[in-house]
A and B are shown apart, each in its own frame.
Chain A
Amino acid sequence: MDYISNTAAEKDKMMQEIGIEAVEDLFQMIPEAVSAADRLNIEAGISELELMRRAQFQAGKNKSLDQQISFLGAGAYDHYVPGIIDALISRSEFYTAYTPYQAELSQGTLEAVYEYQSMVCDLTGMGIANASMLDGGSAAAEAVTMAARITGNSRVLLPDTVNPAYREVIETYGAGSELEFVNLESKQQIIDPAQIEKNINDQTAVVVLQYPNFYGSLEKMEEISKLIKNKKNTLLLVIANPILLGVLKAPAVFGADIVVGEAQNLGNGLNYGGPNLGFMACKDDRRMLRQLPGRIVGKTTDVDGKEGFVLTLQTREQHIRREKATSNICTNEALNALMATIYLAAMGKEGLKEVGEQCYHKAHYLAKKIDGLSGFEVLNKDNFFNEFVLKTEKDSTVVFEKLLEEDIIAGYDLKNIGENGILVCTTEKRTKAEMDKLVEKLEVL
C-alpha cells in the first residue's frame, strides 16, 4: 500500500505533458555512483491488517502501566487524560495542518495557541508565553542560553536538585554557547541559600531552580530570590511543574524572570517520554521578549476591523534572522500544546486545584505509612509535594526488583544517579488499595 492515487493511464498523461517517456527520465541527473542499488533492502510492504497484528504483537512483548502499579515520576507523570482530548485533537483539521503560515486559513490553530499562551501566563504569573518548546529539558536549556544573551554573562548556577536529565540537556546546549556551570550541592534534598550566596557573583547570568525540585521538595524560593535580586544582572529561571500550579503559588510571585517546564502532565499521555511539551514564559519586558525563542501568536484585526490571530514578532526567528536568530527552533509541539489547552479548559481552576490536592494528600498518606515501617525512611518527609525519597537500609535496586516481581514499580531507582534510594511519586490516579499494597509488600521484604 503506497497511498498513491494516480493510475498508469493518468501517469502516462502526466509524462506526456512533461515530455518524458518514463518516470526514470526525471532522475537522469543523479550520478550512478550515488544512486541506490536497484531497490531498497527493506522488506515488502504489508497490509493494514498485518500491520495491526504486528503492532499488537510488539505491544504484547511490553508490560505497560495498565498491567502493574506504578509510582514512577521523575519528570514524566501518570495523570488521567480525559476522553475529550483525544476526541478533539483527532479532528484532522487540527492534526493534519502545518504551522499556520497562512493565518486566514489557520484561525483554529492560531486562536488555540493564543489560548494556550494565555493559560501558561495565568499558571506561571508571567507576562509573555511562547507557543511551545520541544520538551522540558530543551526548554530549560534554551532558557539558560536566553538568560546568558540577555545579561551578557556566562556563569550559570545549577543546583543538583534540578532534574539530572535537564541538567545534562542544559550542559549540552551550554557547550554550544560556551557557558560556565557551577554545580551546587544540596543538603536534605534542597539547596541551602548560603550556597547561592557563596557562588553568585557579578558574572552570574542565571540561577536555576526547580519548583518543586527533582526530589519533590520546595526550595526556599523567597530567600533565594532575594539574593538574586541583589545582583543587577542575574536572572532567576524557574523550572515549574505546571499541573501543581493549580495549588502552588505562581513562580512570578517569587520574582522569576523566566519560567519553563514540562507540560506533558497536562492532558498528554506518557508515550514513553515523547512527544512531550516544553513551555516557556518570561516577564513582559522588551529586553526579554527580543531574546525569547520560538513562535508567538498575537491578536490583531483584519481589513474589516474583525479580530483575528497571526504569528507575530517573527524577526526573532530563524527563517527571518538566520544565524542571528534567538534559536533554531522551527517545528515545536503544537498539537501537544492544544492537548494541554483542552485539558486546562476541561479541568478549569477548580479541577486543577483538586488534582493537585489529591496528588498531595495521596503522597503524604503513602509517605507516612512508609516512614512508619522499620528499615525504611522518607528522607524529605517535612518538605515534599507529591514525590518523595524513600531511603532504605538495603540496596535500593534489590528493593526495586523485588517489588517488580509483585507487579509494582516502586518509583525511580536513584541508583541511576548514584544515590541509594527510590523516588516515589503518586498522582490522582493511584488508589488507596494500590498504595496499601506497596506498603504491605515493603513490610515483608
Chain B
Amino acid sequence: MEEKLIKDYSSPGRKGYSLPPLEVEKSELEKDLNGYLREDLELPEVSEVDAVRHYTALSEMNYGVDSGIYPLGSCTMKYNPKRNERVARIAGLTNLHPYQPEKQLQGSLEILYQLKLDLAEISAMDEITLQPASGAHGEFVSLMIVKKYFEDREENRVKVIVPDSAHGTNPASAAMAGFDVVEIASNERGMVDLEALAEALDENTAALMLTNPNTLGIFEEDILKITEMVHQAGGLVYYDGANMNAIMGYAKPGLMDFDLMHFNLHKTFSTPHGGGGPGSGPVGVKDFLAPYLPRPLLKKDEKKYYWDYQRPKSIGKVHSFYGNYGVMLRAWAYIKTLGGSGLKKTTENAVLNANYLKARLKKDFELPYAADSLHEFVLSGSRQKEEGVSTLQIAKRLLDYDQYAPTIYFPLVVKEAMMIEPTETENIGTLDHFVETMLTISREIKKDPELVNKAPHSTTVRKLDETKAARNPDLHW
C-alpha cells in the first residue's frame, strides 16, 4: 500500500477534535441506559494533522477532471465550475433544516422552482420532480409512475422493452419496479430494429426505455416512428437522459413524443461526481402523468412556493426529504451562468469534440458503426485484440500516460468496446494529446505487445488482482 490506513496512525489518547464544555448537569446516563451502553468501539485515535496528511496523501493517488481528460462514455465528465461550489457553500442557502417552515425557505424554494422551469424548457416536459437522488433513482421513479398509471387504468401490462445497447440501470430499474424485461436487438446500423420492436410490442407492453442518442452516440432517426409504434400498442415511452449533453438546444425529448424521462444533473449540468456520488436525477413527465409524481411536489401560488403533499395518486416518496438539494444548487448556478444560448453551445462543442476525436482515431481503431454520431462514439479494440492486446490493456496503458481511460466493454453490442466522450470543456490540445497517446499505444502493440499487456507501469499500484479480491473478500480492516 502506498499510503497506510488511517487506523495505522492511531495512538491511544491522540485527539483530532475539541468540544466546548458541557455546561449542564450530567444526568444518570449509565443507570438510565443500562444494557444499552457499548464498550467496544475501535475507531482510530489520530490528531488533526495526522488526518490532514493522510487524506491529502490519498487525494494525491486519485485523478479527477481537474487532473486531465476523463473520456468515460455516457458519464459526461465535463469541467465542474468553481463558482458553483461557492454557491453551494453559502450558509444562507445551506444551513437549512428540511423541516423548517416553508415561509423561512422562500429563497431556496424559488431557486428550485427556477431549476424546474428550466429543465421543463430544455426537455419539453410539463412537470418535474427533483426528488430522485441519482439517474438510476430517476429511472426507478419513472417505472413506478408507469406501473401506477396502468394500475389506475386497470390494464395489466407487465412488460418493459429495453434495447440491447441500453445502460444496465434500465433493465435493473424495470425489474425493481416489478416488470418483466424484454431485450430487443439493435439493427446493423446500431439503431432500434423496427421489426424487432414491432414483434416485441403487444397488449402486455407497459413501456419502452430508450436513450437518444443511444449508447453508441447515434441518434435514432426513426424516433417519431418508434414512439408512435409504442403508443399505438398502448404503451409509454421513457427517455433515459444520460445523453442529454448531445441534444440540448437541438432536440427535446418531449417533442420526440417521450412521455417521461430523467435528467442527470451530475452529467449534463456539470455538478461534480465526487468519486461516485452524489448525483441528482430529476424526472420530467407530460401532464397526464403528473398526478403520479413522488410526494411532495414543489408548487407555487400567488403568494409563495410550497411543497404539495396532497397528491392521492402519487407513487409515494423515494427519498427521506426532497432529493439532493446541494447538487441542485450547483445545477441552477450552471444554467444561470450559461443561459439558453450557452447550453446550446455546450451541445455543439461536445459534439464537435467527439467527432474530431472519432475522425482522428478511426483509421487506427475499428469503428464498428459508420452512422453519424453525436457527443460520444464507440470504437472496437478488435484489431488490437488480434495482435494480442485486449481493450482492458489499452485502457491500463492510457493510465501510464496520465490520462483516464474511456468506458470499456460497454455497450455490450460491440466487442472490445471503447466508448469515448470527451465533453465540450476539453480543448484541441488535450484532444490531440489523447489521440497521439492512443496512436502511440497502437504502435506499441505492434512493436512490443508485452509492454502494453503488463501495463500500467507508472501508477501508484500496478495491475490489481480482481479475481483474488472477489474470491477472498477483504472488505474491512
- The answer to whether B475 touches A296, judged by C-beta atoms less than 8 angstroms apart, is yes
CB neighbours of B143 from chain A (8 A): 176
Stretch of B16-24, B282-290, B444-452 lying at the A interface = B16-24
Complex interface: chain A residues within 8 A of B177 (CB): 176
Kindly state whether residue A136 has any CB partner on chain B within 8 Å: yes
Does A64 lie within 8 Å of B92, measured CB to CB?
Answer: yes
* Docked-complex contact B475 and A129, CB < 8 angstroms: yes
A338 adjacent to chain B (CB < 8 Å): yes
B128 at interface, CB cutoff 8 A: no
Q: Considering the complex, give the chain B residue whose CB is closest to the CB of A116.
A: B476
Indicate whether A18 reaches chain B with its CB closer than 8 angstroms.
Answer: yes
Whether A33 is near chain B, meaning CB under 8 Å from some CB there, is yes
A118's partner among B7, B99, B105, B324 (CB-CB below 8 A) is: B7
B154 close to chain A: CB less than 8 A: no
A186: interface (CB < 8 Å): no
Interchain CB contact under 8 A, B339 and A178: no
Contact flag A273-B356 (CB < 8 Å), given A56-B90, A138-B133, A361-B29: no
Given contacts A75-B320, A325-B175, A335-B277, contact A351 B65 (CB under 8 A): no
Interface-located stretch among A6-14, A150-158, A193-201, A372-380? A6-14
Inter-subunit contact A4/B346 (CB<8 Å): yes
Please tell me the number of chain A residues within 8 Å of chain B, measured between CB atoms.
Answer: 206
A274 with B326: in contact, given A66-B91, A129-B476, A347-B16 (CB under 8 Å)? yes
Q: Are A172 and B63 in contact, with the CB atoms below 8 A? A: no
Contact between B175 and A324, CB atoms less than 8 A apart: yes
B313 CB contacts on chain A under 8 angstroms: none
B272 partner residues in chain A, CB cutoff 8 A: 95-96, 335
Task: Judge whether A111 and B5 touch: CB under 8 Å.
Answer: yes
Please tell me if the beta carbons of A60 and B107 are within 8 angstroms of each other in the complex.
Answer: yes
Quote the shortest CB–CB distance from A60 to chain B (angstroms): 7
- Minimum CB–CB distance from A248 to chain B (whole Å) comes to 6
Question: Which residues of A sit under 8 angstroms from B410, Cβ to Cβ?
Answer: 319
Q: B469 touching A51 by the CB < 8 A rule?
A: no
Cβ-defined contact, A117 with B349, below 8 A: no
Q: B118: which of A42, A115, A327, A347 is its contact (CB, 8 Å)? A: A42
CB distance from B111 to the nearest CB of A (A): 5
Q: Are A35 and B255 in contact (CB under 8 A)?
A: yes
B462 touches A117 (CB 8 A): no
Are A2 and B338 also in contact (CB < 8 A) when A29-B221, A65-B97, A274-B321 are?
yes
Closest Cβ neighbor of B371 among chain A residues: A29
B254 to chain A, nearest CB (A): 9
- Taking a contact as CB atoms under 8 Å apart, the answer to whether B94 and A39 are in contact is no
Q: How many residues of B contact A (CB 8 A)?
A: 200
Cβ of B388 < 8 Å from any Cβ of A?
Answer: no
Residues 122-137 of A, flagged 1 when their CB comes within 8 A of B and 0 if not, give 1101001101101111
Is residue A41 contacting chain B, with contact meaning CB distance below 8 A? yes
A128 and B475 form a contact (CB under 8 A) = yes
**B275 → A minimal CB distance (Å):** 4
Once the chains bind, are A40 and B343 in contact (CB under 8 Å)? yes
**Do the beta carbons of A248 and B33 come within 8 Å of each other?**
yes
B8 to chain A, nearest CB (A): 11
| B residues 82-127 touching A (CB-CB < 8 Å) | 83, 85-87, 89-101, 104-108, 110-111, 118, 121-122, 124
The answer to the question of B300 belonging to the interface, with a C-beta cut-off of 8 Å to chain A, is no
**Nearest CB on B from A40, distance (A):** 4
A54 to B463, CA, bound (A): 48
The reply to whether B172 and A327 contact each other, CB–CB distance below 8 Å, is yes
Taking a contact as CB atoms under 8 Å apart, the answer to whether A34 and B105 are in contact is no
- Contact among A34, A114, A119, A330 with B135 in the assembled complex (CB-CB below 8 Å): A330
Chain B residues near A230: list those with CB within 8 A: none
Residue numbers in A under 8 Å from B404 (CB-CB): 98, 102, 105
Task: Report how many A-B pairs have Cβ atoms within 8 Å.
Answer: 697
Interface string of B162-175 (1 = CB under 8 A from A): 00000111011111
Chain B hits for A247, CB < 8 A = 29, 33, 37-38
Q: Using a CB-CB cutoff of 8 Å, which residues 238-281 of chain B contact chain A?
A: 247-252, 255-256, 266, 270, 272-279, 281
CA–CA, A104 and B26, complex, Å:
50
List the A side residues contacting B318 at CB < 8 Å.
137-138, 141, 169, 172-173
Cross-chain contact of A98 among B275, B325, B477 (Cβ < 8 A): B275
- Tell me the bound Cα distance from A1 to B29 in angstroms: 57
Q: Are A346 and B395 in contact (CB under 8 A)?
A: no
- Residues of B1-47 at the interface with A, using a CB-CB cut-off of 8 Å, are 1-3, 5-7, 10, 14-17, 19-20, 22-27, 29, 33, 35-38, 40-46
- A360 interface hit (Cβ, 8 Å): yes
Q: Do A322 and B64 have beta carbons less than 8 Å apart? A: no
| Closest A residue to B456 using CB positions | A104
Option from A2, A118, A129, A328 in Cβ contact (under 8 Å) with B346? A2
B197 at interface by CB-CB < 8 Å = no
B461: chain A residues within 8 A (beta carbon): 103-104, 107, 302, 306-308
Q: Is residue B301 within 8 Å, beta carbon to beta carbon, of the partner chain?
A: no
Question: Is A60 within 8 A of B92, CB to CB?
Answer: yes
Contact A3 B78 (CB under 8 A): yes
CB contact list, A79-112 vs B, under 8 A: 80, 82, 84, 86-88, 90-109, 111-112
Any A CB within 8 A of the CB of B466: yes
Verify A10–B95 contact, CB threshold 8 A: no
Q: A361-B26, A365-B24 are in contact. Are A100 and B340 (CB under 8 A)?
A: no
The answer for the CA separation of A43 and B272 in the assembled complex, in Å, is 24
Q: Chain A, 46-64, contact with B by CB distance < 8 Å: what is the 0/1 string?
A: 1010011011111111111
Chosen A-B contacts, 29 in total, with CB atoms closer than 8 Å, are: A17-B356, A23-B351, A31-B221, A33-B224, A35-B250, A40-B340, A84-B16, A92-B80, A94-B59, A97-B63, A104-B459, A108-B62, A123-B43, A137-B319, A138-B133, A169-B316, A172-B316, A176-B144, A218-B36, A273-B98, A273-B322, A273-B323, A302-B461, A308-B2, A309-B464, A319-B169, A332-B276, A333-B274, A348-B15
Known: A41-B340, A317-B168. 10 other contacts (CB 8 A): A94-B64, A95-B274, A96-B65, A115-B477, A165-B317, A221-B36, A269-B95, A306-B461, A334-B273, A338-B274
Nearest first, the 9 A-B pairs at minimum CB distance are A273-B321, A59-B92, A335-B274, A273-B98, A61-B107, A45-B339, A96-B64, A108-B62, A334-B276
